[in-house]
Chains A and B, each alone.
Chain A
């Protein structure tokens, strides 16, 4: 399991959003930190196959990220995602089960399992428009892991969750990292400290630091802030 990017660049008109980034992600949770506009979302979209790089290459175990095979093993949660207000939570997940290629029987079982994981069993048959922000975020997380992905790309997954839920999902992400390649982008440094095995920091479209952060290295938050001074 290796998601590799080689000299990845994305340019929009005169702005270079991602500038010659090379990285290799393996099984485990990799935290992605960076200020707004650092290029995190663009990088994640390219790694998800949603955006074609201006130059550079991406592959996952010799698969192209544009291939169906890759999408079959991918789970993606965008930073700012929507839903269908007229659907119930269960209908929303059943729809995404079909998009992920699960047959009806497996989809029903997986939905029940996911509602339990994200703590929405009681609200599964309520219209999503009646959900709170945190509940919608939980449904989003559920759709990202429907297909038990080998590669899981999460863009601010804990935004909008209350502290208790955040801890719960942090633990869930940690569990998923045992079996999958997880890339986790967040502004919450403590989340990264708790679950990330590796860390990538981005600034102005480039990686400004990457490696393993150890407690003996001091406070990650202070180090992170120093990068942007």
Chain B
């Protein structure tokens, strides 16, 4: 007799189990609203619309001696704009100070000084990151590709988008923790597992229906949160300044990419990172068979790795490099400052390229490893 797997029906009911969890839904709705709200405060912050419009008057100008001398002329010795009518130049203050130093004399800033100081700081970063000569050569070759002089643009939309996307990763951590940490444990806790496991479709079909339902919930949530936030920013402020080199945001990176490309990288990292934490949540749920413990392991583990990853000495290069791939550390706009590289088959890869592949590969590993554990599980307690 041909077996009827009923996968679609099982998937529907597994999805219903997740979506009818009130705590999950309330959390989802709060973050859904928040994703729009953060579109406002992450981009604009405390700056009024008139100032934002003023900033745009110097957009797309090359960062050369002409622009720098104009900036020097309207700012005091601390780099602060002295007259409100010149507020457009105010947006350059942080960027310049970041390169030349906060205690530098700001009156005679030149194009040469900016580009020279930038390279000096990058050299220090090579040393701090314990790069090999091969890695340094890689970055020097990459630097050649970066167009100079840089083209100036106000950074509010780009920074806002990046910060909002990274907040989404934290939102996903909570939504996934609440929604998916119970996907498998619910059957043990509600004592439905003996009935399930004595049914013909209670093994492979149900396991993969649960995984697919969990992943659908994860992808739907991340799409809604990112979609809501990005749409709001696009409608309210427009996607301006995404075509300029990322060095205007992060001057010491040698990646040859635009701000828009950096944002796309962050979106990919966030989506793949969400899939990864969903796979972890469901795996832990299956192993521990307790929703609260699974949630604790997921959230606790995330923050422990975050603390560990940010404090681990760079000297322990291999360990710190691999730990830095975890979503807690990797998914930040500062991924552009990661100089350490991964070498596979004679080629160097940046961490932002390795991380999403690692997330998906590890997710598959946990899903199929979890299936092995699921099949071996026996209902022992009475």
> CB within 8 Å of B: which residues of A?
12, 41-42, 45, 48-52, 68, 71-72, 74-84, 86-87, 91, 94-104, 107, 140, 143-144, 147
Contacts and interface: CB of A to CB of B under 8 A. Distances in A.
User: Interface range on chain B: under 10, 10 to 19, 20 to 34, or 35 or more?
Assistant: 20 to 34
A71 B382 contact: no
Interface of B is mostly: loop
B199 A45 contact: no
- Residue from A52, A83, A95 having most chain B Cβ neighbours under 10 A: A95
B298 to A, nearest CB: 23
Contacts of B3: 68, 72, 101
A101 B200 contact: yes
A49 B195 contact: no
Interface stretch (B5-13, B29-37, B67-75): B5-13
Given A48-B198, A80-B191, 5 more contacts: A42-B382, A51-B378, A68-B203, A81-B194, A98-B6
Contacts of B195: 76-78, 81, 96, 99, 140, 143-144
- Residue from A12, A42, A45, A83 having most chain B Cβ neighbours under 10 A: A45
A192 B1 CA distance: 35
A104 B191 CA distance: 25
B13 A94 contact: yes
B371 to A, nearest CB: 15
B17 interface: yes
A38 to B, nearest CB: 12
A100 B13 contact: no
> Which 3 pairs from chain A and chain B are nearest by CB?
A82-B190, A98-B6, A82-B191
Contacts of A99: 6, 10, 195-196, 199-202, 206
Contacts of A81: 191-192, 194-195
B20 interface: yes
B198 A98 contact: no
A72 B21 CA distance: 31
Interface string B221-254: 0000000000000000000000000000000000
Contacts of B202: 71, 99
A72 B205 CA distance: 14
Contact of A100 (B21, B192, B201): B201
B16 interface: yes
A140 B201 CA distance: 18
B311 interface: no
Contacts of B9: 94-95, 97-98, 104, 107
Given A99-B206, A103-B4, A72 B200 contact: yes
A84 B10 contact: no
Interface in B159-202: 189-192, 194-202
B359 to A, nearest CB: 31
A100 B199 contact: yes
B380 interface: yes
Given A51-B379, A99-B199, A99-B201, A83 B190 contact: yes
A95 B206 CA distance: 11
Contacts of B16: 86-87, 91
A147 to B, nearest CB: 8
Nearest to B187: A82
